[in-house]
Amino acid sequence: MPKFLIEREIPGAGNLSPQELQGVAQTSCSVLQKLGPQIQWVQSYVTGDKVYCVYISPNEEMIREHAAQGGFPANRIRPCCHPSCAWPCCFSRLDLASRAPHVARQSFYARCADWVS
């Protein structure tokens, strides 16, 4: 099942209290229960004005539906994988499978650099 990295622009996210973050998490979990087992939260990271989440989902549309039902943004959604995984599985998800392995790795890292800039 594909993994996705979601960027949520939430002004002041880094200043939310633990209770406020727990409330957001509870809302997210209740929506996930409604949507069924195909979509799963993996982890989240909170920064100044953004929250980055990793989800397992069959497609981007289900992630957008989760965000809509939960009332939180999904400003950017990108397929992702851990660099230490089997490269062919990553490349197929990132449309890089047709390239030579060293070129595909360079393209993968370039996309990662694009993502964080």
> What is the distance of C-alpha 61 from the center of its chain?
12
Between CA 103 and CA 1 the distance in angstroms is 25
**Which residue has tokens 């979601």?**
6
Residues 18-26, mean pLDDT to the nearest whole number: 92
pLDDT in the model for residue 81: 74
- List pLDDT tens digits, range 41-93: 999 999 999 999 999 999 999 999 999 999 999 999 999 876 655 444 454 44
Predicted confidence (pLDDT) at residue 16 exceeds the cutoff of 70: yes
Q: Considering the entire predicted model, what is its pTM?
A: 0.70
Q: Residue 98 pLDDT > 80, yes or no? A: no
CATH of 1-80, one of 3.30.70.3090, 3.30.70.260, 3.30.750.200, 3.30.2010.10: 3.30.70.3090
CB 53 within 8 A of CB 63: no
Residue spans of the domains in the chain: they are 1-80, 81-117
